[in-house]
Chains A and B, each alone.
Chain A
């Protein structure tokens, strides 16, 4: 596929610095019309910063960014053509789901004649029809995330940006959202999503950029990325990873690669002989009795581990220029203020 002919998002050598730290270091990629493109990486890799730049919330310090053929000089002109679902729903708690959608539909300039129908259609799509007249603060996390996606598409945009759309959801909630995202793709929408769930990226995305510390470690389809490991299997060993054990296994299996991050694993093209060797080794040493051995196909996690030496979900959080966390204090008049704002006591 020649992406440059139909690319709707173009990111070329983009750098961004926050609080003196480079969060993006020369990032480059293209997204084709109609594809689901995933940015897969650990927390703090720079994924949200990329979305913030692409949606004109912040400006990149260096490099070229183009969305739908427009350089991002004037973000306002693009906003009607793109939809954004931030990693959490940020709306007033004192509006119902339907009111939130109608408000944003109006702000996006959706014609009043079609807005009502569109809102009802979206509430159906995200499974919130029954709860449409409930205040948003009564919604569960899953419902909030589904409303967040409905909000991003209320104006029928060409490109949809989803920032960690399923973070914090249970497997059922996650699958519900995957279905919605897949529906959007079938309607011809272009989606760029960030995630640090490898199975999500693998299931949803046509192409994935593995992003780590502000750079792209690898880019391709899920199969292309996994092919980087070569033919072979991953053997997971249920033992505590120690430097001595990693060294010992590395010496025993020079043809494979031994990783000690987040548990012991060996990537090898000859799994049967490795397993036999391990069983013998463990049988001869009572200290290893009962150790579990699992042989499985390589995953994107393994690719990431192979390329960066780290796991997707082990990194400490680095600020992604998000959030407005302020200290919470409770002065004596706080209940009065709560009363003023209509926040009922949980009691």
Chain B
């Protein structure tokens, strides 16, 4: 294992001699945070206090709520056409904080349907609100029993807080339900704060995959790896040392990013910074593993670059690194195969919502499994190379 640290040491010495690369490593995070900071620091986004869009979406993705939702919607709208999009949010019950209400707002050309589901009691409240704010119809009762085999239409889901008109109509409907719920816009969040976790994930993803892949290919084609492996160091230690080098690069960039974000652009981190460390470590080794695997299939650094982009771009979009999106069931399934999806969720939860490490345990556990599996896959690939 000592050999791994010698290899890491080599990477650091090399970095010291590659001044342009070193400058690039500092400039990239500065550029990103500088660009976003300058452009977005004055922008705010509305947020609903104590709400978690994620929970509502997850319930919807189980299809249980979606099937019930369509059934209620069809009844309320007397068999109206399939909705194009659903705006979602969730709230804790004022009576019992452990009970979650899931609010679904389905805008239409004339009326908007507002449906509130309580899965704990399997009941719902619904209202059809004319788009001028008049209540057209209300209903409540047990959730309709639906077949799990029925065909459900594809529908776009979006967080409720992005649509001011929908919030206004939902507020009017929820008041009628008389459950003591209130939908308040509450304090607004800076757009930069909302985007910052995604910038962090973006850095980890690109630097990790690309750095590991290109470094590994360079070591192979220059023959440096082969020469080092003539010494008593094991291949495992060599790969570990290289991976630690890539991890160091990620760490260096994140330090610059966080320092600039917090000190210059006053980015607000709601959660504990130390809680981010295990998430960042697990995410880094996951993407480093992907990079090592890519290097096995790349003959040149050019190819490694292309392959890295091929993995990073879809992974980034599906993990909501570029645009905050709420997924369809299919995209959710596909995005669940990328480690950065879990990294993004965990980073956002800690940095935006102040979630504790325990609260993001499912994401952290998934990331840990990804990091172990992908890192060892990459290591085995390289150990098989001659």
Tell me which of B192-200, B222-230, B282-290, B357-365 binds A.
Answer: B222-230
Which residue of chain A has its CB nearest to the CB of B11?
A92
Q: How far is the CB of B50 from chain A (nearest CB, A)?
A: 45
Q: Report, as a range, how many residues of chain A touch the other chain.
A: 35 or more
Q: Are A135 and B301 in contact (CB under 8 A)?
A: no
When distances are taken between beta carbons in the complex, the residues of chain A under 8 Å from B190 are none
- Per the bound structure, the CA–CA distance linking A76 and B305 in Å amounts to 34
When distances are taken between beta carbons in the complex, the residues of chain B under 8 Å from A341 are 18, 21, 214, 218, 301
Are A108 and B232 CB-contacts (below 8 A) given A95-B17, A103-B9, A342-B20? Answer: yes
B62 at the interface (CB under 8 A from A): no
A80 at the interface (CB under 8 A from B): yes
When distances are taken between beta carbons in the complex, the residues of chain A under 8 Å from B18 are 94, 341-342
Q: Per-position contact with B for A96-113: 1 when CB-CB < 8 Å, else 0?
A: 100100011011110000
A91 at the interface (CB under 8 A from B): yes
B6 at the interface (CB under 8 A from A): yes
Which residue of chain A has its CB nearest to the CB of B305?
A337
- Per the bound structure, the CA–CA distance linking A57 and B226 in Å amounts to 9
Set A95, A151, A344: member contacting B10, Cβ < 8 A = A95
B296 at the interface (CB under 8 A from A): no
A287 at the interface (CB under 8 A from B): no
Q: How far is the CB of A17 from chain B (nearest CB, A)?
A: 15
Q: Are A91 and B301 in contact (CB under 8 A)?
A: no
B233 at the interface (CB under 8 A from A): yes
A71 at the interface (CB under 8 A from B): no
A326 at the interface (CB under 8 A from B): yes
Are A79 and B230 CB-contacts (below 8 A) given A94-B18, A95-B13? Answer: yes
Q: Per-position contact with B for A318-334: 1 when CB-CB < 8 Å, else 0?
A: 00000010111101011
Q: Are A324 and B221 in contact (CB under 8 A)?
A: yes
Are A76 and B218 CB-contacts (below 8 A) given A90-B223, A95-B13? Answer: no
How many residue pairs between the two chains, A and B, have CB atoms under 8 Å in the bound complex?
98
Are A104 and B231 CB-contacts (below 8 A) given A92-B10, A337-B305, A339-B24? Answer: yes
B220 at the interface (CB under 8 A from A): yes
Q: How far is the CB of B215 from chain A (nearest CB, A)?
A: 9
When distances are taken between beta carbons in the complex, the residues of chain A under 8 Å from B218 are 341
Q: Are B227 and A86 in contact (CB under 8 A)?
A: yes
- Per the bound structure, the CA–CA distance linking A244 and B152 in Å amounts to 91
Q: Are A326 and B230 in contact (CB under 8 A)?
A: no
Q: Are B232 and A90 in contact (CB under 8 A)?
A: no
When distances are taken between beta carbons in the complex, the residues of chain A under 8 Å from B9 are 103, 106
Q: Are A94 and B230 in contact (CB under 8 A)?
A: no
B234 at the interface (CB under 8 A from A): yes
- Per the bound structure, the CA–CA distance linking A333 and B221 in Å amounts to 20
B175 at the interface (CB under 8 A from A): no
- Per the bound structure, the CA–CA distance linking A333 and B224 in Å amounts to 25
- Per the bound structure, the CA–CA distance linking A84 and B3 in Å amounts to 19
A203 at the interface (CB under 8 A from B): no
Q: How far is the CB of A9 from chain B (nearest CB, A)?
A: 17
Q: How far is the CB of B121 from chain A (nearest CB, A)?
A: 58
Are A91 and B224 CB-contacts (below 8 A) given A57-B230, A106-B6, A342-B18? Answer: yes
B156 at the interface (CB under 8 A from A): no
- Per the bound structure, the CA–CA distance linking A94 and B386 in Å amounts to 23
- Per the bound structure, the CA–CA distance linking A109 and B2 in Å amounts to 10
Q: Are B20 and A107 in contact (CB under 8 A)?
A: no
**23 A-B pairs with C-beta separation under 8 A:** A57-B230, A86-B223, A86-B226, A86-B227, A89-B227, A93-B222, A94-B14, A94-B18, A104-B227, A135-B17, A326-B300, A329-B300, A331-B302, A334-B302, A337-B305, A339-B20, A339-B24, A340-B21, A340-B24, A340-B214, A341-B214, A341-B301, A342-B17
15 new A-B contacts at CB < 8 Å, known A86-B223, A89-B227 = A86-B230, A91-B227, A92-B14, A92-B222, A99-B10, A151-B227, A324-B221, A326-B221, A327-B299, A337-B302, A340-B20, A340-B21, A340-B24, A341-B214, A341-B218
